[in-house]
Amino acid sequence: MRKSRKLRLLIESPAVTTVMGASSGLAAILAEEAGFDAVWSSSFEVSAFRGLPDASLLTMTDYLRSAVEVDRACGLPVVADCDTGFGNSLNIAHMIHEYEAAGIAAVCIEDKIFPKVNSFSSRGQVLEDVAEFAHRIAVAKAAQRDPDLVVIARTEALIAGCDVNEALRRATAYAEAGADAILVHSKSSVPDEVQEFLGKWSGIRPVVVVPTTYYDWPVGEMQKAGVAMSIYANQGLRATVSAVRRTLSTIREDGSSAAVENEVASVREIFELQRLDEWLSLSR
Residues assigned a catalytic role: 54
- Of the candidates 168, 170, 167, which has an alpha carbon nearest to the alpha carbon of residue 158? 167
CA distances in angstroms from 252 to 197, 247, 249, 256, 257, listed in the order given: 49, 9, 5, 7, 8
Nearest to 201 by CA among 169, 232, 160, 247: 169
d(C-alpha 175, C-alpha 183), whole Å: 11
CB neighbour list of residue 120: distance below 8 Å, 6 or more residues apart? 187, 212, 213
Whole-angstrom distance, CA of residue 197 vs CA of residue 217 = 15
**Which residues make Cβ contacts (< 8 Å) with residue 92, sequence separation at least 6?**
85, 86, 109, 136, 139, 140, 143
| Neighbour tally for 280: CB within 10 Å | 9
Within a 13 Å sphere around the CA of 229, how many CA atoms are in the beta-carbon half? Answer: 34
User: What are the phi and psi torsion angles at 137 (to 5°)?
Assistant: -65, -45
- d(C-alpha 204, C-alpha 152), whole Å: 13
Closest CA to 40 of 185, 178, 166: 185
In terms of DSSP bridges, do strands 17-21 and 38-41 run parallel, antiparallel, or are they unpaired?
parallel
